[in-house]
Structure 1
Amino acid sequence: MGRGVLYPHEHESIVSVDRQAPCPELARFVEFYWHVRWDTDEPYETKVLSHPNVHLVFEEPAPLVYGVDRALFVRKLEGRGQVLGVKFRPGYFRPFAGRPVIELADRRIPATEFLGPAVEEVNRAVLGTTDLAVMVRRAEEFLLPLLPAVPDPVAEEVAEMVGRITADPALFRVDEAAGTLNVSTRTLQRLFAEYVGASPKWVLRRARLHEAAARADQGARIDWAGLAGDLGYFDQSHLTRDFTAVVGTSPARYARS
């Protein structure tokens, strides 16, 4: 899954993760497909610092749509199983949602609500194999006819906005992001509520937490005060409070775990 998965070394011993790119016709809408398999004798909680993306997940007992999880995504894995996820690009689930994507935030919703009852049959077909290429093909055969006839130019604009502000380490505040994107703060907030499902402030903050966790996962000694300054925090205490509030432990303790 890449950046955002917490305790990755422990995770890799239990969970197998593969990714596949979408076909060209779906590349505008989908970042990638992710396939997770697990086999564990003891219950295991996988924890993820989510990204500003909506996911369609083919899983038992029924397919679900996951809105942006603004806290910490936690899922208990037991026994043996698999799921196939469709990670939509920021803004690009809006045509399927039929309403502002912020209404999906922190929720897991039956996929039938957005994609109709046929998605349940597709769910069975997708999970009826362990071959990732076959799983993706079956999912894409279902999704392609559902694409909107007319592309939404605002969705592409919003996707680019999310990409720019998460890739720029010098952006710490919403007003700075709005100025860089040549829109007003209010417009940026409105677009993110309508298309992304999380506020610009959350997106900026989450990008900083992703970086802090990624640094901690490297295993090298970290100058936390220096990192806090690099990430735009007032001081190390500010970073520690922010990280602990979401992850449940301080960044220094997380790095030692």
Structure 2
Amino acid sequence: MAQIAAERGLVRRAATGATFDNRRYPPGDDLERWIQHFWTVEWDLRGQPPVDSRVISYPAMHLTAEWGEVDEVRHGIALPATIVHGVVSKVFEIRLTGRGEVVGARFTPGGFAAWTGLDASTYTDRALPAGQVLGPELASAHATIGAAGSLEDRVDALRQILRAHRPPVAHPADEELAALVRRMAADDTLVRVEQLAELTGRSVRTLQRQFRRRIGIGPKWVLARYRLQEAAYALETDPEVDLADLAARLGWYDQAHLTNDFRKMLGETPGRYAALAGGG
């Protein structure tokens, strides 16, 4: 079996490679301002023990259509269902059992608030039936999507549904925030909120308020989360990486601070994470 490559955000992807199939699909030009990508996950563990999967989550909300076993409840919601997921402030954890499928849209950071006009912080660390958030027209989107057949067809069905409901225009302020978050993800020299304030000409307090309302979580969390994702990815791709050098490269004061933050997030040290990255 071919080795599954490490993937940012997915904890020990190489070790879970045989457990589930995870794919991404482009949003299309007319949706890319709001939707970062579409994605699918499917698994078949019938006759096998459950598998715990963890994700070092991104600063983004999701809309999913989900199917599972008869009478299955997932995220506290009876399946099948269409679900709105807020930003997950810790590590997203789910136990995969039986057979299941998910088709999802990951909004860009701030994309959900830009799409709906809603306060994203209301949904942080919550999963809710879509009908409660987006109205009755999307409450049973999973029924339409599920009738499409293959997962690729279901992605296209979700894409068509969102195209029919997309906002008429993107607001310049939303574009500005999205560009700032993209820079935060790409520039590992950005490690403090004060640097963002200097870049944007806004106060720290204003940035905190904007991030919480538009993204669902504060800018300090976003900066830290991108660094932690990069650290985990580096440990998976090179388990022998020098931890002191990694800490310095990603903006931690020293290796001890990297270790403390990593342990708080995943409950283990970077060294142990690297040792177990391949499933050992």
- Normalised by the length of structure 2, the TM-score is 0.87
5+ long unaligned stretches in structure 2: 1-5, 68-78
Which residue in the other structure is 2:153 paired with? 134
Deviation for aligned residue 1:226 = 1.6
Match status 1:42 vs 2:49: yes
Match status 1:188 vs 2:207: yes
In 2, the alpha carbon distance for the partners of 1:248 and 1:205 equals 16
Cα deviation, 1:92-113, whole Å, max 9, x if unaligned, reads 1014444321121111111112
In 2, the alpha carbon distance for the partners of 1:168 and 1:54 equals 22
Q: How does 1:89-104 map to 2 (within 5 A)?
A: 89-104=108-123
Among candidates 3, 20, 24, match of residue 15 of structure 1: 20
In 2, the alpha carbon distance for the partners of 1:171 and 1:27 equals 25
Deviation for aligned residue 1:126 = 1.7
The residue type paired with residue 13 of structure 2 is: P
Which residue in the other structure is 1:174 paired with? 193
Q: How does 1:143-182 map to 2 (within 5 A)?
A: 143-182=162-201
Q: How does 1:104-115 map to 2 (within 5 A)?
A: 104-115=123-134
The residue type paired with residue 17 of structure 1 is: N
RMSD across aligned positions (CA): 1.6
Larger deviation, residues 42-51 vs 91-100: 91-100
Q: Is the 8 A contact 1:96 1:114 kept in 2?
A: no
In 1, the alpha carbon distance for the partners of 2:49 and 2:238 equals 26
Three-state SS of the structure 2 residue aligned to 1:232 is coil
Three-state SS of the structure 2 residue aligned to 1:24 is coil
Count of residues paired in the alignment: 257
Deviation for aligned residue 1:129 = 4.5
Q: Is the 8 A contact 1:96 1:115 kept in 2?
A: no
In 1, the alpha carbon distance for the partners of 2:99 and 2:220 equals 38
Q: Is the 8 A contact 2:82 2:141 kept in 1?
A: no
Which residue in the other structure is 2:261 paired with? 242
Instruction: Give structure 1 regions of 4+ aligned residues with deviation exceeding 3 angstroms.
Output: 95-98
Among candidates 45, 68, 73, match of residue 92 of structure 2: 73
Three-state SS of the structure 2 residue aligned to 1:37 is strand
5+ long unaligned stretches in structure 1: none
In 1, the alpha carbon distance for the partners of 2:239 and 2:169 equals 49
Deviation for aligned residue 1:198 = 1.1
- Normalised by the length of structure 1, the TM-score is 0.94
Q: Is the 8 A contact 2:129 2:139 kept in 1?
A: no
Among candidates 134, 138, 142, match of residue 123 of structure 1: 142
Cα deviation, 1:126-156, whole Å, max 9, x if unaligned, reads 2334523311221122212222234222211
The residue type paired with residue 6 of structure 1 is: V
